[in-house]
Amino acid sequence: MSELEGVDLCSDDIRGGVQDCSRSLVGRLIGDKVANFTGVKNFTNHVWGYPRNMVVTELGPNLFQFQLEKEEDREKILEGGSWIMDNQILVIKEWEVGCERKLNHFRFAYLWVQIWNLPVHWLCRSVGFKLGKLFRSVKEVIVPPGEGKEGRHMKIMAEIDVLQPPPRGTLVKLEGVNTWVEFKYERCPDFCYNCGRIGHGDKSCNGERRDG
């Protein structure tokens, strides 16, 4: 057999590899800085509570596989939303065939979004879920109790597109009156005020300037 003839594989040949990978998660750091493998391994072990026998493998620049024995460990990590490492979002997804070659597999991530400038009588969960329609989905809405010097604001855990500029706010209309509400992203990673995208700062931006 020559190298030009190639080799044909069937599903039986890869069954063992698929079974191993099905017990894993895959994470991609969204940003221009290339992460250090040891740093990622130490960071994830720490924030995930040192899962038993977790195996971390670097699949490429800023792309990592996390093999975990227990399904409950994988579910707990996925429920935790996104993780911020060195000012970059670590987007964690369940492994699926070919996911390491698909940037869109890691396109969406959950972040806490504070909503400011709402009239005090609008601070309720139903308003939060309606405003959350500007995002892909909303997992949770929290209305903190009123106290303190910073005033009251609502926050939502929203699924955002990390490859596009996140919305800075929106115009809300009620009975003919317009109110501009502002979005502030908690623990926000590197954010470019030039193009509006997450993952790099103004000085390293090569994109077009965002209007407004």
Residues 116 and 88 in one domain: no
Residues 38 and 86 in one domain: yes
What integer pLDDT is reported at residue 30 of this predicted model? Answer: 87
Give the C-alpha separation, 183 to 202, whole Å. Answer: 20
Residues 180 and 116 in one domain: yes
What integer pLDDT is reported at residue 209 of this predicted model? Answer: 53
**Which residues span the domain enclosing 127?**
108-204
Is there a domain that residue 123 lies in? yes
Identify whether the C-beta of residue 72 lies closer than 8 Å to the C-beta of residue 100: no
Residues 116 and 190 in one domain: yes
Query: Where among 96, 128, 155 does a domain terminate?
Result: 96
What integer pLDDT is reported at residue 47 of this predicted model? Answer: 94
Is there a domain that residue 4 lies in? no
Give the C-alpha separation, 153 to 117, whole Å. Answer: 7
pLDDT tens sequence for the chain (212 residues): 566 778 887 777 677 777 888 899 999 998 888 999 999 999 999 999 999 999 999 999 999 999 999 999 999 999 887 788 888 889 999 998 888 888 788 889 898 999 999 998 899 999 999 999 999 999 999 987 766 555 678 999 999 998 888 888 999 999 888 999 999 988 766 666 566 666 555 555 665 555 54
Residues 182 and 160 in one domain: yes
The residue type found at 55 is V
Residues 90 and 115 in one domain: no
Residues 188 and 133 in one domain: yes
CATH number of the domain that residue 116 is part of: 3.30.70
Residues 167 and 79 in one domain: no
What integer pLDDT is reported at residue 211 of this predicted model? Answer: 54
Is there a domain that residue 38 lies in? yes
Is there a domain that residue 101 lies in? no
Give the H/E segment covering residue 79. Answer: helix 71-79
Contacts of 103 (CB under 8 A, 6+ apart): 28, 163
What integer pLDDT is reported at residue 190 of this predicted model? Answer: 61
What integer pLDDT is reported at residue 150 of this predicted model? Answer: 56
Nearest to 34 by CA among 88, 83, 82, 81: 88
Is there a domain that residue 5 lies in? no
Residues 82 and 138 in one domain: no
- Say how many domains are in the chain: 2
Query: Where among 56, 73, 96 does a domain terminate?
Result: 96
CATH number of the domain that residue 35 is part of: 3.30.70.330
Residues 62 and 112 in one domain: no
Is there a domain that residue 178 lies in? yes
Is there a domain that residue 212 lies in? no
Contacts of 190 (CB under 8 A, 6+ apart): 31, 32, 33, 87, 88, 198, 199, 200, 201
Residues 115 and 186 in one domain: yes
